[in-house]
A = this chain, B = another copy of it.
């Protein structure tokens, strides 16, 4: 019970290998009648193209690669990446492409993975997230001419299509929500400093704060982990004039801080309001439930996949803008406390 090849089909139908190939790929060069016969026989035999043979002769792997470049701890706790993977895979498989996945705990490993994938022609293109400060990846991708799409970052990026997110409106929405509740000292627990959108968010929050009178922004660095978020929160609160509201760059830091509010010596939202930049089940089940920006990551990943497929197919793809996030108001944000 060997797997059938186009030679078997050609013999059965009584035509050449080439005719079979043309028919199966829907190209010209075969009459409608023989084409139908070929397709019938192929289906009967349960024929499917060998991916290796097709890749070798057509120089197309029909595969897209993604490197997940975060620590195992962050990967485990953040639902974000699984949503990315799910959104990508569904779009790719609908177009006959496969998804190849790798982890990288450090930037060197990630770069090496791209080099290797491309040298071995394992992938036709890659999808990237989390543009960093002095990020070496765009230059490498351009140098090797690897088709690539950057997901969830700023635009433009020379030579690489970007699915970008407008932090401007989100920052307005966050600051607006809190100032409407009377907060004017607002903390910001940031993500890792090496991520570009960390700086971007800070800039936009500053701008949004500056556009209102009397609003002070106090920032501290977190690292997207529980421990980092709690530590930054403790530092913000342990000052002469602590903030009455804190914006967290992700859900994990916000949730960990709310879960340990008592230890930190505050009540949420009576003493401090909390707002998370990402939403997830975590934000819903913690008490009080956390006001958060929701965001259909799966749909965004699907869009990014389409951009990448277009880039692979045609050599070009336009930048595209993500849907703005939506503020889900829950119990963690309330009117600012009045001091004597």
Please give the residue numbers on chain A whose beta carbons come within 8 Å of chain B beta carbons, in ascending order.
Answer: 3, 46-53, 55-56, 61, 63, 68, 72, 75-77, 79, 81-83, 85-86, 89-90, 93, 98-103, 116, 119-122, 226, 252, 255-256, 258-259, 280-282, 284-287, 289, 298
B86 touches A82 (CB 8 A): no
The listed residue (B50, B119, B298) touching A121 by CB distance below 8 A is B50
Complex: A256 Cα to B61 Cα, angstroms = 43
B50 touches A56 (CB 8 A): yes
Q: Are A121 and B51 in contact (CB under 8 A)?
A: yes
In the complex, A129→B284 CA distance in Å? Answer: 28
A286 to B286, CA, bound (A): 5
Residue of B with least CB distance to A92: B102
Which chain B residue shows the least CB distance to A48?
B119
* A284 / chain B contacts, CB cutoff of 8 Å: 226, 259
Q: How far is the CB of A108 from chain B (nearest CB, A)?
A: 14
Task: Check A50 against B282 for contact (C-beta < 8 Å).
Answer: no
Q: How far is the CB of A124 from chain B (nearest CB, A)?
A: 12
Give A256's nearest chain B residue, CB to CB.
B285
Q: How far is the CA of A208 from the CA of B246 in the complex (A)?
A: 48
Q: Are B55 and A52 in contact (CB under 8 A)?
A: yes
A-B contact pairs, 18 of them (CB 8 A): A3-B119, A50-B56, A51-B52, A51-B122, A52-B53, A52-B56, A63-B100, A72-B298, A76-B79, A76-B83, A81-B82, A82-B82, A99-B100, A258-B285, A259-B287, A259-B289, A285-B286, A287-B287
Task: Assess A82 versus B75: contact at CB under 8 Å? Given A52-B52, A285-B259.
Answer: yes
Check A101/B85 contact, CB under 8 A, given A286-B287, A298-B72.
Answer: yes
Q: Is the CB of B252 within 8 A of A281?
A: yes
